[in-house]
Chains A and B, each alone.
Chain A
């Protein structure tokens, strides 16, 4: 059973860079799946941030593209998110999620528990 676990600092200063990692357990990150980041500001809805394939190919939400970098580390079976020039508007619960390529198309079938990141000085 594949599981995802987010980790990273819970507090980031304004104008700084938010950095999170999602560890994949119970399966290989090199399987036929895209790996995504989704965020949810307090009391608000979900926003897709972007995704990565184990080859390193990425796709980003145009609204965040200039500030987002998603990378993969196959040796550690994990992928990461970096969001630069953060403001209070980036305060949110950040989730990592899996999007299968061969079934359950266009859906996120496995999610991490989420990690709260607050942007504040």
Chain B
């Protein structure tokens, strides 16, 4: 099972919106609405930001939203803030009780 493909880096100015893509295959992202997104600050554990493609856990800002089209899922951060600067990882259920993570994207707030 290969890692899902994410851009290595994405940047934006405060207040702008950015979108991070997560490309898989018809065996994982394309087959299941079980894509999740995680935010990870340096030296910290990942934090769940989006689950089941577009749902937000309690306590996560509504500036974070998720979507999916075909084999590609996306995470959009609107109204970018300095605190959003972090690494972001997507994850998809891949069938047969397996999970696969994305390669990770470093978000920089200019």
Complex contact B34–A48 (CB within 8 A): no
Please count the residue pairs between chain A and chain B whose beta carbons lie under 8 angstroms apart in the complex. 71
Q: Interface size class for chain A?
A: 20 to 34
Complex contact B36–A45 (CB within 8 A): no
Complex contact B57–A63 (CB within 8 A): no
Complex contact B32–A106 (CB within 8 A): yes
User: What is the interface size of chain B, counting residues whose CB is below 8 A from a CB of the partner?
Assistant: 28
Complex contact A105–B34 (CB within 8 A): yes
Chain A at the B interface: mostly helix, strand, loop or mixed? loop
Report B14-46 residues with CB < 8 Å from chain A CB: 32, 34-36, 38, 45-46
Which 8 A-B residue pairs are closest in the complex by CB-CB distance?
Answer: A106-B34, A107-B51, A59-B97, A107-B36, A111-B45, A48-B99, A46-B101, A45-B104
Instruction: Give the A-binding residues of B (Cβ under 8 A).
Output: 1, 3, 32, 34-36, 38, 45-48, 51-52, 55, 57, 89, 91-93, 96-104
